[in-house]
Amino acid sequence: MIEISLCMIVRNEEHSLPRCLSSIGSLADELILVDTGSTDRTKEIAASFGAVIYDFTWIDDFAAARNFAFSKATREYIFWLDADDYLTEEDQERFKLLKQSLPGNVDSVNMQYNLAFDGEGKVVTSLRRNRLVRRSCGFRWIGPVHEYLEVYGPSLSSDVCVTHHKDKEYTDRNLRIYRKRAEAGERFSPRDQFYYANELRDHGLHAEACEYYEQFLGGGQGWVEDNIQACLRLAECREAMGDPEAAYTAFTRTLQYDAPRAEFCCRMGAWLVEKGQLQPAVYWYELALKLPAPNESMGMKNEAFSTWIPNLQLALCYDRLGQHERANWHNETALLQQPGHPSMLYNRKYFQKLLGARYVSLQP
């Protein structure tokens, strides 16, 4: 069985930290917590779990803090989490099996990172991140903000999932770090152009976000998954700025990088519905349902665009086209995926009244 050092960087995490350490503490052979300036009970809580605690002066550089934490590890492998991450009971069992069965030639293990959930607790947004690495490889974190762990060599995709549950409010911390770097005249890498654009968009600074998305895409050096997301988010910004034609141009640029994805299909369908072109819209929404799942990648995945969203929109389209039974079927299918969705429940009452004896429910 391999031995693992858990390495974390924390600051004022007294609310999240107990859940995190309770889920992983007994599975890790060493707990390393690097504190970047807590003023609450974070250190006290960490100590109660037997963690070795180090102080690190915050310098607006996440990679520096994480690399410092990794440098304190002493076991064969290093595992990392943030304080608002944890392992469910099911994933704790999977982690135990991973410790017992990890092949000796594996230098890094990536795991699914579950970021958002629907009302039924189903995962709707996720991505994969490198989580467990062989210490002797000396892998390093790169980037002051939105940092990533640069790995190479033999890798394993594990069935262990890490669950994210943010307890703190989002702040402008990352945006401030990027602003400071830009004001200092730093030349951003393609990755930083993309993530700076995301921060600007998230804070409603759409015009500036567009500038950085265009810089990123124009450079031609981005990862394909980031290229696709940049096109889609550029479209959101253009639409927010009141330019739907520019939004259309932006989201169709995704086709330069790969075959249509489900999210693109849904956006194209929405564009056509807005234009009153219902039959072409039906084509794209149905394609979103038919597309095979993309090959396993580290990119962001949102299951809604291949499940309930196209079904809900097909209910709308077919109803307007006069194909009410078919519209009802799609609405009922969407309800199987989102049982409490208010729009679908409203539609159900509408179809019950409209179809009468012809109404069919798909509820078990």
The residue ranking higher by pLDDT, 339 or 299, is 339
C-alpha dist (Å) from residue 145 to 54, 153, 245, 349 = 21, 25, 33, 48
> pLDDT band for position 296 (50/70/90)?
low
Share of the chain residues as helix, strand and coil, in percent rounded to the nearest 5: 50, 15, 30
Flag the least confident range among 54-68, 119-133, 153-167, 199-213: 119-133
| 293 has a pLDDT exceeding 80 | no
| Per-residue pLDDT tens digits for 259-288 | 999 999 999 999 999 999 999 999 999 999
Closest alpha carbon to 69 in 44, 86, 52: 52
Q: Could you read off the pLDDT of 49-94 as tens digits, one per residue?
A: 999 999 999 999 999 999 999 999 999 999 999 999 999 999 999 9
Whole-number Å distance between alpha carbons of 162 and 131: 9
Is the pLDDT at 295 greater than 80, yes or no? no
Q: How many residues does the chain have?
A: 364
Taking a C-beta distance cutoff of 8 angstroms, is the pair 19, 37 a contact?
no
Q: Is the pLDDT of residue 332 over 70?
A: yes
Q: How many angstroms separate the CA atoms of 29 and 184, rounded?
A: 42
State the pLDDT at residue 156: 97
Q: pLDDT by residue (tens digit) across 19-56?
A: 999 999 899 999 999 999 999 999 999 999 999 999 99
- Residues of the chain with pLDDT > 70, as a percent, come to 99
Strands (DSSP E) found in the chain: 4-10, 30-35, 52-55, 77-80, 85-86, 108-117, 123-134, 140-142, 148-150, 155-164, 301-302
Kindly report, as residue ranges, where domains of CATH 1.25.40.10 are found in the chain.
Answer: 173-256, 259-364
Q: Are the CB atoms for 217 and 224 separated by under 8 Å?
A: no
CA-based radius of gyration for the chain: 23
Q: Write out the two tokens for 349.
A: 């009452």
Model confidence at 170: pLDDT above 90 = no
- Of the pLDDT bands very low, low, confident and very high (cuts 50, 70, 90), residue 301 is confident
Q: How many CB atoms lie within 10 A of CB 278?
A: 16
Give the CATH superfamily of 259-364. Answer: Tetratricopeptide repeat domain (1.25.40.10)
Residue ranges, CATH 3.90.550.10, the chain = 4-164
State which amino acid sits at residue 314. Answer: L
Mean pLDDT of the chain: 96
Burial call 294-332: b when 16+ CB within 10 Å, e when fewer: eeeeebbbbbbbbbbbbbbbbbbbbbeeeebebbbbbbb
Q: State how far the Cα of 192 lies from the Cα of 201, in Å rounded to an integer.
A: 14
- Correct CATH for 173-256 of 3.90.550.10, 1.25.40.10, 1.10.630.10, 3.20.20.210: 1.25.40.10
Please write the tens of the pLDDT for every residue from 178-221: 999 999 999 999 999 999 999 999 999 999 999 999 999 999 99
Average pLDDT value for residue range 310-314: 98
pLDDT given at position 297: 67
CATH hierarchy code of domain 4-164:
3.90.550.10
The pLDDT assigned to 17 comes to: 98
Contact 254, 228 (CB under 8 A): yes
pLDDT above 90 (res 152): yes
pLDDT value at position 294? Answer: 65
Q: Which residues pair with 292 in a beta bridge?
A: none
Percentage of residues of the chain with pLDDT beyond 90: 92
Choice among 234-243, 262-271, 290-299 with the minimum mean pLDDT: 290-299
Q: What is the DSSP string of 91-156?
A: HHHHHHHHHHH--TT--EEEEEEEEEE-TTS-EEEEEEEEEEEEGGG--EEE-SSS-EEE--SSEE
> Could you give the count of Cα atoms lying within 13 Å of 170 in the half-sphere of its Cβ?
6
